[in-house]
A and B are shown apart, each in its own frame.
Chain A
Amino acid sequence: GAGVSQSPSNKVTEKGKDVELRCDPISGHTALYWYRQSLGQGLEFLIYFQGNSAPDKSGLPSDRFSAERTGGSVSTLTIQRTQQEDSAVYLCASSLTAVLGRGGEQYFGPGTRLTVT
């Protein structure tokens, strides 16, 4: 079946502009995660959604970052007033459940490469 998809694949924006990144998780997956990977760095956790529960936003680096998940499916990560340090690959992942060892393994999308000029 279809995997996790993300759009756009590449986004170049000017400093100060807002951007929206989209994630379509695997159908039926209840958990959705956003990460970012800066050049030469590992994956940095941003936010986690599980079903209808309040999201875990503890990884968001500033209040310029926000994310929504509509209808328990598609998610949008919004970055307001982008800065050059926001340049990174933003990865979305979903998992069937959030139960460790029981479908909690995450399936990643190909990522969105964001470049802020």
Chain B
Amino acid sequence: DQQVKQNSPSLSVQEGRISILNCDYTNSMFDYFLWYKKYPAEGPTFLISISSIKDKNEDGRFTVFLNKSAKHLSLHIVPSQPGDSAVYFCAALAYTGGFKTIFGAGTRLFVKA
């Protein structure tokens, strides 16, 4: 059972427009969420995170929104740039007697020039 779901395998956006990447989760015990970006043949790189006690975190062109009641978070990139084209992974953390990060399957973003 997937605890973190990214239902859109891909997204195509025009340069300069907003990219919205969505993520849903099922475990209400998750208390920290992160987004990672991955280019081909490289490991994922940390992008932005949000604690469950917040509903928004912003870092430059990247903003993450968290809706706990809906168990949904989204990553907004504005304005989108061709260099943003990558796979974006949503991840969630919960301390359950250990420390485990659960990743979604990823969404491939294409930003067209």
Residues of chain A having any CB pair with chain B under 8 Å:
4, 31, 33, 35, 40-45, 48, 50, 56, 58-59, 91, 93, 98, 100-101, 104-111
A23 and B103 CA atoms in complex are apart in Å by: 20
CB pair B49 A106 closer than 8 Å:
no
With contacts A48-B99, A56-B100, A59-B100 known, is A100 near B42, CB below 8 A?
A: no
With contacts A4-B43, A101-B49 known, is A106 near B105, CB below 8 A?
A: no
CB nearest neighbor in B for A31: B99
Q: Which residues of chain B are within 8 angstroms of A33 by Cβ–Cβ distance?
A: 101
CB nearest neighbor in B for A101: B51
Q: Which residues of chain A are within 8 angstroms of B91 by Cβ–Cβ distance?
A: 43
A100 and B46 CA atoms in complex are apart in Å by: 13
With contacts A100-B93, A106-B46 known, is A43 near B103, CB below 8 A?
A: yes
CB pair B43 A111 closer than 8 Å:
yes
Q: Does residue B41 face the partner (Cβ distance < 8 Å to A)?
A: yes
CB nearest neighbor in A for B9: A40
Instruction: List 4 tightest A-B contacts by C-beta distance, closest first.
Output: A108-B43, A56-B98, A43-B103, A42-B105
B25-48 interface with A by 8 A CB criterion: 31-32, 34, 36, 41-46
6 new A-B pairs (CB below 8 Å) besides A48-B99, A91-B43, A100-B93?
A33-B101, A43-B89, A45-B102, A56-B99, A59-B100, A107-B46
CB pair A42 B100 closer than 8 Å:
no
Residues of chain B having any CB pair with chain A under 8 Å:
4, 6, 31-32, 34, 36, 41-46, 49, 51, 89, 91, 93, 95, 97-106
With contacts A41-B105, A100-B32 known, is A110 near B42, CB below 8 A?
A: yes
A selection of 10 A-B contacts at a CB cut-off of 8 Å is A33-B101, A42-B4, A50-B99, A58-B98, A91-B44, A100-B32, A100-B51, A106-B46, A108-B43, A108-B45
Nearest CB of chain A from residue B30's CB, rounded to whole Å: 10
CB pair B44 A105 closer than 8 Å:
no
Q: Which residues of chain A are within 8 angstroms of B106 by Cβ–Cβ distance?
A: 42
Q: Which residues of chain A are within 8 angstroms of B51 by Cβ–Cβ distance?
A: 100-101
CB pair A42 B89 closer than 8 Å:
yes
